[in-house]
Amino acid sequence: MGRYIIRRLLQFIPTALGTMLLLHYITSLAIQFSGNPVRALFGDRQPPPAMIDAITKRLGYDDPCLDQKGSLCIKLFGERLQSVFLHFDFGINLRMRPVTDLVAEAIPFTLKIVLVAIIFEAVVGIAAGVIAGLRGGSFSDYLVKISTVFLISVPIFVLGIVVREYVGVKFGNTLRGQDWIPDVISSGVFASGFKLEYPFASLIIPGLVLGATSLATTARLTRTSIMENIRADYVRTAKAKGLANKRVIGVHTLRNSLIPVITYLGVDLGALMGGAVVTETIFNVPGIGRLVTQAARTGEAPVVIGVVTMLALVFLVTNLIVDLLYAVLDPRIRYE
Amino acid sequence: MSDLTSAAAAVGGEAAAPTPTGPAPAGKKEASASLWADARRQLVRDPVFVVAAIYILLVTSMALFPWLWTRTDPRACDVKFHRTPPNAEHIFGTNILGCDYYAFNVYGARPSLAIAILATTGIVVIGGLSGLLAGYFGGWVDAIISRIMDIFFSLPFLLGAIVFLVVVKDQTIFTLAFVLVLLAWPTIARIMRSSVISSKNLDYVHAAKAVGATNGRLMFRHILPNAIAPMLVYATITLGSFVSAEATLTFLGVGLQAPAQSWGIAIAQHQVYFLEDPWLLLFPCGLLVGTVLSFILMGDALRDALDPKLR
């Protein structure tokens, strides 16, 4: 197992470097083709050229290779790697704020949404999957099957708009008209978007929307896995021994069936971090997704490279942990 | 990778762990032919598949021949009649610019489907080929291809697409399809790689090798036909995911731009009128969800039909 971990960690190095190089090249191309991003700071105004030059130099966009179209800018990439790995310095945005600060500001919101989403999909998804799987072919089974297919095929932005307008605006407005309902509920939980005054309450509904698609996946995965295991020999043995139904299902079936589900939830955690951008846009949450989208629009290369690389690393690490967890949960799997 | 992976894993979660498709050592050709023939017979009898396929055919005909569906020009607008509810003249009503909304939605089918089909063809060719090479040769070829796959796989799907599209700036059907291919090919390469690995050590492959078949012949004549089923299932589901990805990117403002007609544009333009005039969202959303749903159901049925274990 130790050797497996070391090998996986060594594989991180080329992957992370490749991801950074790819992002570096894309952002460099953007600058090479559409010009100095510093000019965006001034809008329509025409600042003196000396001022532009000074700011460009200070922000580090003065490298000559950023003028050569198509150049890979290897030297700049080397400098970037050095400051990232030796000084933990991810660079600054156009307003001289360090990327690490920007991420530190944005990440609590994204984490909160993702947390709500994961809890939601784990609790409701597993419950629905267990109910459907234990009674295959029954009404509840079909209900879960059909509703999950629908949930998967509704794009998340459609779901987000519908929920925002009906729950946040329409239902929320009727709640806000009533005096006996506390403000946390009426203008926090059922707000039409993110509210700074209710940093957690107003993120609950966006979290539920974010978790909806994965909820359907979790439910289907649980259902398939339970249906497979309930026919397994050891479950029949447990039944034949005369164990109580509760124990047969709770201990023998459920524990084994949940292994793939838990690994899916782990992988999803990494995927949701970067996938929250739509939900964040619809509900106006100042999270990671919005940070990257804005940075990409204004051409702030260090922000894009820094944040997306961090997300990629989070994704890789969660995947590694999930793989290791798999071996712990399922003794049949051995990593040599 | 929100949309793609979840949709693929959602439908049974088996896309990543492909089922070997009936290893038949003797008489390989007959066995594989009967697998596909059986699958076809089962699919034709499956009402869900038939309904989904008919829906897709209807939407495809909208995309190919929109004039069969409407004689109204979606750009012949009269702002005087903006946002009129559905009536006899305009059965879907009119949009904010007073254009006939039915024609707008019919013409909106083309970009969505074109992007989905282009991008899916792209990932099947690129992903399938690299998965085949990585799985067949193993060793350092596999190591290099797998690392490149890891790089693209670790980029978050939507954020990656946004970064690429913002840089490209010129957002057409082709650039959108290109970006989708770039971010989605590793998944299909992985599926292909693992099904090639599981079928390359079967007896008939060894037999063909012993007879003196070249690498190319082994890969394309012997291994590919037996390893292609999981990829086809995933590709069908991906068609749906790409239709939804196009609409999502357009909604976020980095996809197709306004003078074009597409469902994503229709939804993005009218989201603020949702409570007053819900039909403005209902029609494009309905068409979009129906298309995605049909592709997913078709992929689902295809997987069941191609999996001999379930028979």
Residue type for B210, please?
A
Q: Which two tokens stand for residue B136?
A: 């067949």
DSSP state of A331: T
Q: Which two tokens stand for residue A219?
A: 């439910």
Can you say how many angstroms the Cα of residue A261 is from the centroid of all Cα atoms in its chain?
Answer: 18
Contact A277 B159 (CB under 8 A): yes
Give the whole-number percent of chain B exceeding pLDDT 90: 5
Q: In this predicted structure, what is the pLDDT of residue A193?
A: 74
Q: In this predicted structure, what is the pLDDT of residue B18?
A: 41
* Mean pLDDT, chain B, whole residue set: 78
What value of ipTM does the predicted structure carry?
0.82
Domains of chain B by start residue, with CATH:
35-310 (1.10.3720.10)
Q: In this predicted structure, what is the pLDDT of residue B44?
A: 83
In a 3-state reduction of DSSP, which class is residue B277? coil
Closest residue on chain B to A304 (Cα): B163
Least Cα separation, residue A50 to chain B (angstroms): 27
Contact A224 B162 (CB under 8 A): no
Contact A275 B2 (CB under 8 A): yes
Place of tokens 């307008």: A165
Give the mutation candidate from B48, B59, B147, B167 for the A interface (greatest A CB count, under 10 A).
Answer: B167
Contact A153 B158 (CB under 8 A): no
What are the phi and psi torsion angles at A159 (to 5°)?
A: -60, -45
Residue pLDDT, tens place only, B94-140: 777 767 777 788 888 888 888 899 999 999 999 999 998 988 888 88
Contact B154 A315 (CB under 8 A): yes
Q: What angle do CA B19, B21, B24 make, to 5 degrees?
A: 140
Residues of A in contact with B155 (CB under 8 A): 19, 22, 308, 312
pLDDT for B235 beyond 50: yes
Alpha-carbon distance of B81 to B74, in angstroms, equals 14
Q: In this predicted structure, what is the pLDDT of residue B279?
A: 77
Q: Which helix (H) or strand (E) holds B15?
A: none
Residues of B in contact with A265 (CB under 8 A): none
By Cβ distance, the residue of A154, A161, A264 closest to B271 is A161
Alpha-carbon distance of A158 to A117, in angstroms, equals 17
Alpha-carbon distance of A292 to A93, in angstroms, equals 11
Q: In this predicted structure, what is the pLDDT of residue A124?
A: 92
Residues of A in contact with B6 (CB under 8 A): 152, 213-214, 217, 268, 271
Least Cα separation, residue B222 to chain A (angstroms): 31
Alpha-carbon distance of A58 to A20, in angstroms, equals 22
What is the CB neighbour count within 10 angstroms for residue B169? 11
Determine the angle formed by the axes of helices A139-153 and A126-134, rounding to 10 degrees. Answer: 140
Least Cα separation, residue A26 to chain B (angstroms): 7
Closest residue on chain B to A288 (Cα): B159
Contact A296 B162 (CB under 8 A): yes
DSSP letter string, A37-96: GGGGGGTT----HHHHHHHHHHHT---GGGGSTT---HHHHHHHHHHHHHH----B-TTS
By Cβ distance, the residue of A26, A213, A264 closest to B167 is A26
| Size of the A and B interface in Cβ pairs below 8 Å | 166
Least Cα separation, residue B100 to chain A (angstroms): 22
Q: In this predicted structure, what is the pLDDT of residue B142?
A: 87
Residues of B in contact with A290 (CB under 8 A): none
Residues of A in contact with B289 (CB under 8 A): 150, 153-155, 158
Contact A165 B274 (CB under 8 A): yes
Task: Taking residues B178-206, report their average pLDDT.
Answer: 87
Alpha-carbon distance of A269 to A129, in angstroms, equals 19
Of residues B252 and B51, the one with the higher pLDDT is B51
Q: In this predicted structure, what is the pLDDT of residue B119?
A: 92
Residues of A in contact with B160 (CB under 8 A): 308
Q: In this predicted structure, what is the pLDDT of residue B123?
A: 92
Q: In this predicted structure, what is the pLDDT of residue B6?
A: 43
Q: Are B259 and B212 spatial neighbours (Cβ–Cβ below 8 Å)?
A: no
Question: Which residues are CB-neighbours of B250 under 8 A, at least 6 positions away?
Answer: B256, B262, B264, B265, B268
Question: Which residues are CB-neighbours of A91 under 8 A, at least 6 positions away?
Answer: A60, A80, A83, A98, A99, A301, A302, A303, A305, A306
Residues of B in contact with A221 (CB under 8 A): 9-10, 12-13
Least Cα separation, residue A243 to chain B (angstroms): 30
Q: In this predicted structure, what is the pLDDT of residue B254?
A: 81
Successive 10-residue mean pLDDT values, chain A, 336 residues: 80 83 81 72 73 74 71 76 74 74 86 90 91 83 87 86 83 77 72 75 86 89 87 86 84 83 84 83 85 78 80 83 79 69
CA dihedral for B302, A155, B103, B74, sign (positive or negative):
negative
Give the mutation candidate from A69, A153, A162 for the B interface (greatest B CB count, under 10 A).
Answer: A153
What is the CB neighbour count within 10 angstroms for residue B204? 18
Residues of B in contact with A22 (CB under 8 A): 151-152, 155
By Cβ distance, the residue of A18, A156, A268 closest to B147 is A18
Alpha-carbon distance of B291 to B112, in angstroms, equals 10
